[in-house]
Structure 1
Amino acid sequence: MAEENENESYKKYGELYLAVRRGNWNAVQEFLEREPDALTAKINWKYQTPLYVAAAAGQVHVAKKLVEKLPEEKLEMQDYYGYTAITETVMRGNHELTECILNKNKKLISITNHMGNLPLIQAIYYGQLEMARYLYSLTPLDDLLPAKDYNGPNFFTYCIYTGTLDIALDLMKRHPPLGLARDKYAITPLLALASMPDLFPSGNLDRLVFWKRWIYEYCIHIPPNRDSKEIHLNVQRVETQKAKPFLSVSALLRHLVSHVQNILGIKHLYQMKLTHVQAQELLSLMCARITCLDYYERRDGCVEYAIIKAVENGIFEVASEMLKADPDLEWTFDGKKRNLLMLGVLHRQAKICSLLIGLDLNKALACYEDRETHGILHMAGMSGESRTMLNRIPGAALQMQRELQWFEETKRVFQPKVREVTNTDGLTPRELFTKEHKDMLKEGEQWLKDTSTSCTVVGALIITVVFAAAFTVPGGNDQNTGLPMFLHKRLFMLFIVSDALSLFTSSTSVLMFLGILTSRYSEDDFLKSLPTKMIIGLSTLFFSIATMMVAFSAGLLIMLRDQSWIVVPIISLASVPVSLFVWMQFPLLVDMVMSTYGPGIFDSKLKIVIN
């Protein structure tokens, strides 16, 4: 019976509901004059008043006039989900209407929905970061205290996940215990920070090209005593100025500078560095609290879990800062009884491992076994947990090489007795490595074969062309002596030398790739033998292509030396294949050289970080 009455009620307000949704204020006003009670009536199945419907539909002009008519206390009415009118405006990022409603009733900022969430939480959850900044400036600190509910910790962790670190820093300074308070998902802000590699230099700085890294290091300065809110306001002012028409030469110059900065990515790099600085400052404030915690506070603050996540994610800054704050965290173990050093090796986090190797307890940590009697060398033999790091390495062969390097480096650094320890399946570390990497071995073999086959075809074509060119020289031969007509020309000597070099290097390249194709493809071959052959093959192939183009250009100049209008464009085009090869294959060649002959995986210099 009650449901029938509600349905009749909704039908009664159907005309009003449609008028509000369509933004027809005249129709809304006429209906309210006939039915004054409709101003606060629930006109749809969500128990929403006309104001809520107008806010949800984005009809700002209708909503503003309804706010003027409503008494202050009626703005606090909630719908079926416990939402107030401000919740609808917040989720949609409608600043104008949000401000209008809050100016009439500021209590709405502290009213939670049926899930217990403040409007502030709704704003950041739905990605309305500017709205979240505005609401944060109005929300009383008492509403965010962890002793009251989960709103404070929830908001803090959302700030970290969305990279809104200026708010997180301010919140941490206003109430430091929030840094280790659990949200409704049992996650603390410290744990959230340890799960976000992109907030720190170790997470994304290595991915920058060299010139962007140079700009990041030397051209961007973040003031030490900055005010994050002032920085944000300055950015807003810059954006506002850019939107104005150009009124002067100085304004035009500012626009050109801004355009150049966009091309170089300076603004992006500035924001990246600002995020890194804010994250480091936030981390320092959190770690400063770790030293004075007892066992239960450390457990509730997820301190040990946070350093485990930092090691797994390779966030060097978090791991080192936490170890500085509390050296006892060296003895942290995960649920499978793996210590930090074992986890670092398992997840292939070289910098973290280097840090832990520098500790006085590194030998003791290396002697531990997990619940399945896997030792430190077994960790290097596993492949499942290292896939994320391996995906950054191009080519299955280089991935296999990196895995072998990890195994050999771990075996070299730690005690000999760990080499033959067996796990619960009776497998030694090397046997486990072979078992775990059999698929990768096949993928690496196939990758090398495919690459070598393609490059062999190219090399063979070059050999054919340059061999024929050596005996069909430009200008022909003298009929009496049989010598080339342009034998004494410098350009001819350049032609013949570059042609010969192209022939010799392409032949060497083909032999190297044939050596790869006929290899036995054992595990140890991937460590140095096969990569070395690939390096020589690619290098000589690149050189043969370059010298072939030089020979072609020299021959063309000899034949058409008086026709510069056609020679110059053709010679310019000759650089295209060389450039394409450099663009597509040279990065792979550099990666191979660095991987095969570069520095080792572990860096002993990092031991000074926590001393």
Structure 2
Amino acid sequence: MASSSQALPHQNPDFSSYRPLYRSMLAKDWEEALRFFNQYPLAIRTPLNQYLETALHVAAKAGNAFFMEKLVALLWDHELGPRDVHGLTPLHIAARQGNIEVARILVRRNSNLLYLYDNKGFFPIHYAVTSSRGSKDVFLYFFGVTRDDAYPLPNPYAGPTGVSIVVYLIGQKFYDLALQLVEKYPYLACYKAIDNNMSALDALVRIHRSIINKHSLNFWQSLIYHYVSKAESTTSTPIFYLITSLLQCLVRESIVNKMVLHHQSVKLLKWLCDQLKTINDTQVMSLTKQTIFDATILDIWQVILNIAEAYPMSIYFWDSKKQNILHVAVMNRSENVFNLVCGTNVLRTNLPQYEDIICNSVLHLAGKLAPPHKLNLVSGAALQMQRELQWFKEVKKITPSYFWSYKNKYGKTPSMVFTEEHRELKEAGEKWIKDTANSCTISAALIVTVVFAAAITVPGGNSGENGLPIFSDHNAFTVFAISNAASLFTSATSLLVFLSILTSRYAEEDFLFTLPNRIIIGLFTLFLSIIFMMIAFSATVYLVFGHNRRGVLITVAVFACLPVTSFVHLQFPLLVALVSSTYGRGIFYQRGFPQLPY
């Protein structure tokens, strides 16, 4: 061990004398650093900066295993845990940096370093979870060497301290490791973390919304989810990873990873909720009340279902505004939670009976404007207004009739609330529809003009003898005549429909069906008129210039597809959205939702 007889170069707040030591450590020049330690032996033990970091801290921060090995050899075992201004030891820093090599050197000399906590009460294993490398290997190393029976040393896995590890694992999306930890220490499901007062259930809901809605998956995503679930539940771990690796080769890796994370998070959720059955009502309320409402706001119905299965009365919790989960679901437009409640007879009957603190019924809350992030899921102010009306209509179905005209503390009925809250959206929807109708009216009028003129001046002209069209005996002329007439009829229909839209009254209820239906008819007939017009034009070009040459016909047909393709690309998505929103199955009462345990 080095001698400590010589004094430090400067024993004052000015740490500039340690700059040569810093430079040598950053340059990995051990010989220069050793000469400094020989000249000033206390420098190896005392703080080198205003943050009270010692040479061990600097070596751990730099991730220099060689320097750490040399420094450790010059110190006693009890000298390996100096603390900086935040209470961090060199092992804390090695864990935070994700440097397993440096951590091994320190732990090998003094394993008690694993049980020293910082000013916040965090052990090195806490920092290993959130290491800068973001690797599971770092946590697994510390998990393997950190014991729970090192009495009289503190237990990092005990109570709120242990829950913090679980919360951090969930934050890193290491759901499989979080499940492994809570399975080993089941009591962790019944505490909250020391730093943020968050339980493991809270973390699943608030930190990452990896619990997705299976009902929103398409065919391929559902198929992947099925095989991922089946592989993990019926095979060993190596085979499970082999199957997921194979799926990653066949489809996008991000989709497979999302399905794997979802399946792991659902397993963790089920396990945590099962532990609620082992504790008393007071503890359950403390752990789940906020989680229930957070899950409702975020529309994660699986969380509500699993908590309700463990503690059925949780479904009747109310918040500080005396709002239950149905109130919160409607106000936040959480359709999955709404469907779950409506699919349960007891809840569909009981929950709408309650008012909040200002006498708002659930229908009053349906009359409020949806949160911006929910409104923006639908494109266009008119479709947003339609979705809001659909919500109001669906909620009205489950609301007792005496609430339909019931006034809250401000003397407003649900209909009055809806009108006031949606005044600006209604105006924006009216402007959007009028702008759309004006644009389409111009297009339809141009097509009517063109095809009407083409019907009078037929290709090739008329015969001077009998007045009949010259090309009347050609098949292409028949195609021209039929398509030109169809284009005229459809464009005229489109023009009249859009003119009717411009003269509509734009009442609130018109946005639900009348106006969207007219836009659908107008766009569809406009689309048909463009197609028929292109067919008529192609037939005309072929008759006049083709002279039975197939090359002309093919060339004209290819170019005729350009305006049709442009319309499909630019306007067809709007038509699909309108049809889906107006005639589709909608977001309410979707099939496949399991009922709550009532």
TM-score normalised to structure 2 length? 0.86
Q: Is the aligned partner of 1:32 residue 2:40?
A: no
1:111 paired residue number? 116
Q: Is the aligned partner of 1:122 residue 2:127?
A: yes
2:561 paired residue number? 575
1:250 paired residue number? none
Q: 1:365 aligns with which of 341, 351, 365?
A: 351
Change (3 A) 1:369 1:567: same
Q: 1:270 aligns with which of 228, 250, 256?
A: 256
Q: Is the aligned partner of 1:152 residue 2:138?
A: no
Aligned 8 A contact 1:166 1:229 in 2: no
Query: Deviation of residue 399 (structure 1)?
Result: 1.3
Q: Give, as a single letter, the amino acid of the residue that structure 1 aligns with 2:27.
A: R
Deviates more, 1:275-284 or 1:83-92: 83-92
1:168 paired residue number? 178
Mapped to 2, the partners of 1:229 and 1:115 lie a distance apart of 37
Deviates more, 1:593-602 or 1:425-434: 593-602
Change (3 A) 1:38 1:127: closer
Mapped to 2, the partners of 1:234 and 1:108 lie a distance apart of 38
Q: Give, as a single letter, the amino acid of the residue that structure 2 aligns with 1:200.
A: I
Query: Deviation of residue 321 (structure 1)?
Result: 1.8
Query: Deviation of residue 220 (structure 1)?
Result: 4.8
Change (3 A) 1:15 1:268: same
Mapped to 2, the partners of 1:431 and 1:166 lie a distance apart of 50
Q: Give, as a single letter, the amino acid of the residue that structure 2 aligns with 1:216.
A: I
Structure that is richer in helix per residue: 1
Mapped to 2, the partners of 1:456 and 1:96 lie a distance apart of 73
Mapped to 1, the partners of 2:196 and 2:583 lie a distance apart of 46
Mapped to 1, the partners of 2:539 and 2:70 lie a distance apart of 82
Mapped to 2, the partners of 1:484 and 1:561 lie a distance apart of 17
Write out aligned runs for 1:147-296 (5 A): 147=159, 150-183=160-193, 184-195=195-206, 198-202=209-213, 206=216, 210=218, 212-216=220-224, 220-225=228-233, 261=250, 264-265=251-252, 267-296=253-282
1:5 paired residue number? 11
Deviates more, 1:508-517 or 1:213-222: 213-222
Change (3 A) 1:543 1:70: farther
Q: Give, as a single letter, the amino acid of the residue that structure 2 aligns with 1:139.
A: T
Count of residues paired in the alignment: 580
Write out aligned runs for 1:263-342 (5 A): 264-265=251-252, 267-301=253-287, 303-342=288-327
1:136 paired residue number? 143
Query: Deviation of residue 524 (structure 1)?
Result: 0.9
Q: Is the aligned partner of 1:396 residue 2:381?
A: yes
2:25 paired residue number? 20
Deviation digits for residues 205-249 of structure 1 (CA, Å, limit 9, x no counterpart): 62x5x454354356655424379975898699x7xxxxxxxxxxx
Aligned 8 A contact 1:166 1:228 in 2: no
Q: Give, as a single letter, the amino acid of the residue that structure 2 aligns with 1:343.
A: V
Mapped to 2, the partners of 1:57 and 1:328 lie a distance apart of 53
Mapped to 1, the partners of 2:594 and 2:25 lie a distance apart of 67
Aligned 8 A contact 1:287 1:322 in 2: yes
Q: Is the aligned partner of 1:593 residue 2:579?
A: yes
Q: 2:477 aligns with which of 475, 478, 492?
A: 492
Aligned 8 A contact 2:68 2:105 in 1: no
Deviates more, 1:291-300 or 1:184-193: 291-300
Q: 1:466 aligns with which of 442, 447, 451?
A: 451
Q: Is the aligned partner of 1:87 residue 2:92?
A: yes
Mapped to 2, the partners of 1:122 and 1:34 lie a distance apart of 35
Mapped to 2, the partners of 1:216 and 1:578 lie a distance apart of 36
Write out aligned runs for 1:352-501 (5 A): 352-357=337-342, 358-384=344-370, 386-501=371-486
Deviates more, 1:414-423 or 1:582-591: 582-591
Deviates more, 1:464-473 or 1:518-527: 464-473
Query: Deviation of residue 571 (structure 1)?
Result: 3.3
Q: Give, as a single letter, the amino acid of the residue that structure 1 aligns with 2:176.
A: D
Aligned 8 A contact 1:456 1:510 in 2: yes
Aligned 8 A contact 2:580 2:586 in 1: no
Aligned 8 A contact 2:407 2:414 in 1: yes
Q: Give, as a single letter, the amino acid of the residue that structure 2 aligns with 1:536.
A: I
Aligned 8 A contact 2:97 2:132 in 1: no
2:3 paired residue number? none
Mapped to 1, the partners of 2:108 and 2:534 lie a distance apart of 74
Change (3 A) 1:364 1:468: same
Q: Give, as a single letter, the amino acid of the residue that structure 1 aligns with 2:258.
A: M
Q: Give, as a single letter, the amino acid of the residue that structure 1 aligns with 2:597.
A: I
2:81 paired residue number? 76
Mapped to 1, the partners of 2:206 and 2:236 lie a distance apart of 23
Query: Deviation of residue 294 (structure 1)?
Result: 1.9
Mapped to 2, the partners of 1:94 and 1:472 lie a distance apart of 84
Deviates more, 1:556-565 or 1:275-284: 556-565
Runs of 5+ consecutive residues of structure 1 not aligned to the other structure: 239-253
Mapped to 2, the partners of 1:374 and 1:503 lie a distance apart of 54
Secondary structure of 1:13's counterpart equals helix
Deviation digits for residues 356-401 of structure 1 (CA, Å, limit 9, x no counterpart): 23232432322211110111211211125x4332221121111111
Deviates more, 1:211-220 or 1:497-506: 211-220
Aligned 8 A contact 1:182 1:300 in 2: no
Query: Deviation of residue 11 (structure 1)?
Result: 2.7
Deviates more, 1:124-133 or 1:321-330: 124-133
Change (3 A) 1:609 1:7: closer
Query: Deviation of residue 591 (structure 1)?
Result: 2.4
Deviation digits for residues 110-151 of structure 1 (CA, Å, limit 9, x no counterpart): 33222222233234446643133443343334634343xx33
Runs of 5+ consecutive residues of structure 2 not aligned to the other structure: 1-7, 150-154
Secondary structure of 1:6's counterpart equals coil
Query: Deviation of residue 3 (structure 1)?
Result: 14
Mapped to 2, the partners of 1:49 and 1:406 lie a distance apart of 63
Aligned 8 A contact 2:123 2:156 in 1: no
Change (3 A) 1:75 1:4: closer
Change (3 A) 1:602 1:214: closer
Q: Is the aligned partner of 1:47 residue 2:33?
A: no
TM-score normalised to structure 1 length? 0.85
2:488 paired residue number? 503
Q: Give, as a single letter, the amino acid of the residue that structure 2 aligns with 1:295.
A: D
Mapped to 2, the partners of 1:233 and 1:103 lie a distance apart of 33
Mapped to 1, the partners of 2:19 and 2:518 lie a distance apart of 79
Q: Is the aligned partner of 1:514 residue 2:499?
A: yes
